[in-house]
Amino acid sequence: MSNSKYNYDENSETWPYFAITLVGVLVIPSTVSSISSLFAKETKNTNGAITSTFKPLTFQLIKKFQSKSKASKLFNARNLLLVIGWGILLYLGNYVAHKEIESTAVLFDPFEILGIAASATDKEIKSIYRKLSIKYHPDKLSSSLSEIEKQKAEETFVLINKAYKSLTDATTKENFLKYGHPDGPQAITQGIALPKFLIESQGTVLVLAYVFVIAILLPFIVRYWWNNVKSYTKKGIRTETSTMFVEKILNYKPTTLLTPITILAWISESEEIKEALPKLPQEDIVEIFIAHCSRQMGFLAKEQDKLNAISKVPVLVNGLLDLACHFRNSEIALACIETLRSVASAVPLSGIRKQQLLQLPNVDSKAVEKSSISTLGKLFTLSEEEQKKALGIESSASLKEALDVASSIPLLKVLKAQFVVPGEDGVPPGSIAHISVKVMIKSAKHHGVVTFRTFPEDKFHEEETFETLRDPFKMLKDQPDLPPAFAPYFPTSMKTQWTSLLAIQKDGKLVEQPATTTNLDLSNLKLSPEEFKASLKDKGKDFVIGTIKIPLTQPAPPKEGNYEFRLMIKSNNYFGTDLDLPLVMVVKNPTEKVNEKIYEVPAPSDDSIAGAMAQMRGEPVSTSGDEYFDSEDEEELVEADGLGLDDEDDDWSDIDTDTDDEEDQEDPKEK
């Protein structure tokens, strides 16, 4: 049957609309995401960012690298597809806009032609017809009209006649009213919103195109996508690289010395780096990294290739850090962070203890190694001449650049740190807690000890509302985003971040995955040394207190007792701003809390239904008098609750690992 029962969309009435929708659904959202990703960085918060006039020797090269990567952001395959998509969209839109006029003239509706309602009587129809036929009769047209207008009028006249005839015939009119067609009911037609040539084409080209799309292109795209998913881990490193890292961690011996150079050596074995610097032996790649950290340049490989390799280091180190935390290895995790910031600020890997000064611009590493000071804070206590000598800087302008950066590096001082369980006073056994750290952010030029006691007590009080109980981490987002970090030697822009690691104090093993802090208010840095001193004396009135919260995924130990932890909050970017503090988790059954509740909420009185229910359950019931219940009842209640919690302990015991570790640890001591 070559004559199909479908009406094809020969006049292109509907299929362009489908095509527009289809293309639009694909093109518009991806355009929006493309544009927003292009402008995402520019709109970020820059409050507290270090702005410096300092330009490293590699400045031009880095600029070139950045513009290249920006260009590749603009001119890539995805954007090309987007442009083609928009082209199709515009073409279709244009097509539809011009097609519309022709297609509407096809319908024949006598009522519309005569300009009357379907309910009009025969009399009305007749009078209208007369009026219109006089107006459009070819003999009565004014001679001033053009040829085209005359022709149009004639066409209208024919239509009017046709319409009148169909409406004066009783059966035809009825058919019109009932079925919308002069011949009565019509066969129902199925339309298909595709032009005929697409479906019933004799040519094999289209069939081939179909086969190509469904049998080749689609599986290929799916395979490509799946391979991408498979070959990268969640942290964005290749699976081969991840396997290599796991092997390195498993083979790591605690007695060997682990330095950032070891980490860089591991990184240089990864596929990612090998791809960026092909044909180079591993030792040379490590050499390149070390040279970058020493702020040297100009050998072994093309500068752009080197920058490309260096730009890949943070992702790889973060991947390694994640795995190290997974294997609970604190030595490797700490070395990872050390590597990360050495590469970010280009600080010599050999400069142990002097990194705080070596991270500054314009400094001479030899002079710094020789000088007696090693901290940023001490640097600001010196006279200008002494500062120049300590940093090995000759010109005052260069010294100012260095000091500007030094005073803008946010230093953290801990004010208060504790384990918090929302809605509880302490940490009940088996509960899910988080760590809340209140920090003071200050500049190295601010001298003076800020502690918990500097502030009035209510400054640390956190209101517990329904919102904070539901999501205790929401308040972190109220603090501004951290600005981009000062890393002039690093090829791409970097975020200011702190990474928190939590270890068990006794065995030194990590217990949680690293947590990153991305929101903190740095406005304290703007205070001048005098303002700082004044505020310090005046109960810290101008100081902003920062909050860092670290979620814990494991529940608190099931047994009551003190559990010692070590919390390390390490900067990914700068040296000298870290926090390293001991934290004790006091796990305690909230027995007092139970009593409190009873006092707060009066027991139901015994004549209410609730009271009767409570009595049946053997719970304390208040008599009609004002006394609640006697002390015997209270004790019983506490005991019962204690027992209930003990039962729970058994359920939790196999989840917890902390107690096992302690036992392991005490073994060698006993022997």
Partner 1 sequence: MSSLHLSYQKTNKQVAFDTANKDALPLGISSEDLTEQLVQLNELAQQLISFDGEAPKNAEPTKNISMGVKKCHEAGLSCLKTAKFEEAIKHFSEGIKIATNRNKWESFQLTLFETHLCLMNRADAYLMSGKYPEALQDTDLLIKTMNVNPDNFYRRSIAHLELGFLNEAKVDLERGLAFQPNNEKLKRQLLVVMAKIFQEDGDL
Note whether 378 binds partner 1 by CB under 8 A: yes
Count of residues touching partner 1 (by CB under 8 A)? 35
Closest distance to partner 1 from the beta carbon of 664 (Å): 8
665 part of the interface to partner 1, by CB under 8 A? yes
Cα angle, residue 286 at apex, residues 285 and 288 outer, rounded to 5° = 65
Least distance (Å) from partner 1 to the CB of residue 505? 4
Should residue 247 be labelled a site residue for partner 1 when binding is judged by CB under 8 A?
yes
Q: Binding to partner 1 by residue 418, rule CB under 8 A?
A: no
Minimum distance, C-beta of residue 254 to partner 1, in the bound complex (Å): 5
Binding residues among 495-524 for partner 1 as defined by CB under 8 A: 505-508
Using the minimum distance from each CB to partner 1, give the nearer residue, 529 or 611: 529
Q: 297: which residues sit within 8 A by CB, 6+ positions away?
A: 57, 58, 61, 291, 303
Looking only at the bridges linking them, the beta strands covering 190-192 and 6-8 are: parallel
Whether residue 415 contacts residue 450, with contact meaning beta carbons closer than 8 Å, is answered with: yes
In the complex, what is the shortest distance from the CB of residue 655 to partner 1, in angstroms, rounded to a whole number? 23
**574: nearest Cα among 325, 423, 361, 397:** 361
Whether the Cβ atoms of residue 464 and residue 549 lie closer than 8 Å to each other:
no
Interface segment toward partner 1; rule CB under 8 A; list 69-77, 247-255, 388-396, 468-476: 247-255
Q: How far is the CB of 248 from partner 1 (least distance, A)?
A: 9
Would you give the distance in Å from CA 301 to the centre of its chain?
A: 35
Asked if 657 touches partner 1 (CB under 8 A), the answer is no
467 binds partner 1 (CB under 8 A): no
Q: Is residue 530 within the footprint of partner 1 (CB under 8 A)?
A: no
377 contributes a contact to partner 1 by CB under 8 A: yes
Cα separation of 80 and 95, whole Å?
23
**Should residue 668 be labelled a site residue for partner 1 when binding is judged by CB under 8 A?**
yes
Stretch that binds partner 1, among 46-54, 368-376, 595-603, 649-657 (CB under 8 A): 368-376
Distance CA(361)–CA(347), nearest Å, equals 10
Considering only residues 543 to 602 of the shown chain, the ones binding partner 1 according to CB under 8 A are: 562, 564, 566, 578, 580-582
Identity of the amino acid at 90 = L
What is the x/- site pattern for partner 1, positions 55-94, by CB under 8 A?
----------------------------------------
Q: Binding partner 1 by CB under 8 A: which of 76, 168, 227, 381?
A: 381
Q: Which residues have C-beta within 8 Å of that of residue 322, sequence separation ≥ 6? A: 235, 513, 514
Say whether residue 644 binds partner 1 (CB under 8 A): no
Choose which of 107, 449, 601, 616 interacts with partner 1 (CB under 8 A): 449
- CA dist 591 and 601 (Å) reads 16
Least spacing, CB of residue 245 vs partner 1, in Å: 12
Neighbours of 261 (CB within 10 A): 18
Q: Does 383 engage in binding with partner 1 (CB under 8 A)?
A: no
Stretch that binds partner 1, among 115-123, 195-203, 251-259, 601-609 (CB under 8 A): 251-259
3-state SS record for 559-612: CCEEEEEEEEEEECCCCCCCEEEEEEEEECCCHHHHHHHHHHCCCCECCCHHHH
Q: Is 240 in the site for partner 1 (CB under 8 A)?
A: no
**Distances from the Cα of 362 to the Cα of 291, 396, 398, angstroms:** 16, 11, 6
Q: Which stretch binds partner 1 (CB under 8 A): 32-40, 121-129, 220-228, 444-452?
A: 444-452
Query: What is the crossing angle of helices 239-251 and 218-231, to 10°?
Result: 20
Instruction: State the Cα–Cα distance between residues 438 and 418, nearest whole angstrom.
Output: 9
User: Is residue 254 within the footprint of partner 1 (CB under 8 A)?
Assistant: yes
CA-CA distance, 63 to 57, in Å (whole number)? 11
Per-position b or e across 328-340, b if 16+ CB within 10 A of its CB? bbbebbbbbbbbb
Q: Which residues bind partner 1 (CB under 8 A)?
A: 243, 246-247, 250-251, 254-255, 353, 374-381, 444, 447-449, 505-508, 562, 564, 566, 578, 580-582, 665, 668-669, 671
